[in-house]
């Protein structure tokens, strides 16, 4: 069973030594604050999968997983405090679910030799494993996501965006600013006009932004939002009668709670997703082995939702990396360095995902010394308000490597030069 750690209880965790046989996967969660609507289901899915592996499989390679939870409230300072409080507990990997926290943790995990997995968020150029030895962001990153949106829009517009007006409505933070370099490069390549409109955190007031959108009448609004910002944006779009099928969010702006408050007005809204949302066989196992036994992290109501599924997916990737590390080293009692090696040799195939009870949850991908970013693929889904379901519009779409790869190379090379890092893998 998982245990939860509030910020005030950090000293308790520091005083408590790890159980001898535990494999420790800290959960830097946020169940409070304006971003809790996304943080809660993700954390529930993350923790419940580890509990499932413990209850159904007897652990990972026969060793039980332990998931100490530390509340960050999506606050960077608290996130760093949680990291410092838990890293000495035998932590194998961190998944902070925050770009701001990620940026602060990158130098720390490099120094402490603990892997950091920022699945679909964080510093995009960490996809370059030659520079970022301890950081992974597979299966996709923000620059991939921006490129996938543009490729989708190209297909929707007869192969050309020449002269089109695209507005990026973004969370005014490190997270929201991540896709800007890619969209600027793509606007030059494809001839569309890009307008940038920031929304200050948490995003509860957007009247001026949507007045600007109504005045400028863009062909498409792309949203890089999170938490309450998404709900407000969708309602404001409805208020000005902006066509929902011309409004597309990234994969953190495409969950049920983002659209439900607007009711039927949200019908037709689109968003990326890095994981498919279907009734996977693994959910039945979670219900019988975790929820029905009273071991769930939450009340079980989020099972099958977008972000519960993504949290489960993140945990599954961590478990499979741990198994890979165990196989590579011949020991079940792996440490953080071994876990890093397992992450760098992870191979996710369709057959492997099907065997785990989640067929097609994500694209196939492999990780290597040089490539910590995965396939970069995502699907586009659309909200059906009447049925209250997300309907996939596409299969997985590959990003534009011609644009993305040079951007990653340039940014990671600059980071290496600034920090005296000698690229590896050659």
**pLDDT tens string 359-382:** 999 999 999 999 999 999 999 999
Query: In the predicted model, what is the mean pLDDT of the chain?
Result: 94
The 10s digit of each residue's pLDDT in 178-222 is: 999 999 999 999 999 999 999 999 999 999 999 999 999 999 999
pLDDT at 21: 65
Summarised one tens digit per residue, pLDDT across range 135-179 is 999 999 999 999 999 999 999 999 999 999 999 999 999 999 999
Q: What is the 3-class SS of the chain, one letter each residue?
A: CCEEECHHHHHHHHHCCCCCCCEECCEEECCCCCCHHHHHHHHHHHHHHHHHHHHHHCCECCECEECEEEECCCCHHHHHHHHHHHHHHCECCECCCCHHHHHHHHHHHHHHCCCEECCCCCCHHHHECCCCCCEECCCCCHHHHHHHHHHHHHHHCCCCCCCCEEEEEEECCHHHHCCHHHHHHHHHHHCCEEEEEEECCCCCCCHHHHHHHHHHCCCEEEEECCCHHHHHHHHHHHHCCCCHHHEEECCCCCCHHHHHHHHHHHCCCEEEECCCCCCCHHHHHHHHHHHCCCCCCCCCCCCCCHHHHHHHHHHHHHHHHHHHHHHHHCCCCCCHHHHHHHHHCCEECHHHHHHCCCCCCCCCEECCCCECCCCCCEEEEEEECCCCEEEECCCCECCCHHHHHHHHHHHHHHHHHHHCCCCCCC
pTM, rounded to two decimals: 0.93
The confidence band for 426, taking pLDDT boundaries of 50, 70 and 90, is confident
């Amino acid at each position: 069973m998982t245990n939860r750690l509030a910020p005030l209880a950090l000293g308790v965790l520091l005083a408590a030594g790890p159980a001898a046989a535990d494999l420790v996967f800290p959960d830097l969660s946020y169940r409070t604050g304006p971003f809790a609507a996304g943080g809660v289901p993700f954390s529930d899915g993350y923790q419940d999968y580890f509990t499932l592996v413990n209850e159904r499989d007897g652990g990972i390679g026969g060793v039980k997983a332990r998931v100490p939870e530390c509340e960050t409230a999506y606050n960077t300072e608290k996130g760093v405090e949680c990291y410092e409080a838990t890293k000495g507990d035998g932590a194998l990997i961190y998944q902070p679910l925050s770009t701001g926290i990620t940026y602060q943790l990158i130098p720390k995990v490099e120094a402490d030799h603990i892997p950091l997995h920022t699945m679909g968020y964080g510093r995009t150029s960490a996809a370059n494993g030659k520079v970022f030895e301890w950081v992974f962001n597979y299966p996709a990153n923000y620059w991939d996501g921006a490129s996938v949106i543009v490729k989708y829009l190209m297909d929707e517009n007869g192969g050309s965006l020449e002269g089109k007006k695209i507005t990026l409505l973004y969370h005014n933070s490190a997270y929201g600013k991540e896709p800007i370099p890619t969209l600027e490069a793509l606007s030059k390549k494809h001839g569309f006009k890009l307008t940038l409109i920031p929304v200050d955190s948490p995003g509860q007031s957007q009247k001026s932004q949507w007045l600007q959108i109504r005045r400028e009448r863009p062909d498409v609004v792309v949203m890089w939002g999170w938490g309450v910002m998404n709900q407000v944006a969708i309602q404001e779009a409805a208020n000005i009668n902006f066509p929902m099928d011309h409004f597309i969010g990234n994969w953190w702006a495409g969950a049920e709670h983002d659209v439900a408050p607007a009711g039927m007005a949200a019908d037709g809204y689109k968003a990326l997703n890095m994981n498919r949302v279907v009734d996977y066989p693994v959910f039945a196992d979670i219900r019988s082995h975790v929820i029905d036994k009273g071991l769930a992290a939450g009340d079980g109501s989020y099972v099958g939702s977008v972000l519960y599924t993504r949290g489960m997916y993140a945990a599954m990737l961590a478990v499979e990396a741990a198994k890979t590390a165990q196989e590579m080293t011949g020991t079940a009692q792996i440490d953080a360095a071994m876990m890093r090696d397992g992450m760098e040799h992870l191979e996710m195939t369709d057959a492997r995902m099907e065997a785990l009870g989640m067929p097609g949850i994500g694209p196939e991908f492999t990780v290597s010394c040089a490539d910590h970013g995965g396939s970069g693929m995502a699907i586009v889904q659309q909200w059906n308000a009447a049925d209250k379901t997300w309907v996939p519009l596409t299969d997985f779409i590959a990003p534009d490597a011609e644009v993305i790869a040079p951007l990653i190379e340039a940014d990671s090379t600059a980071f290496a030069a600034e920090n005296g890092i000698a690229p590896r893998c050659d």
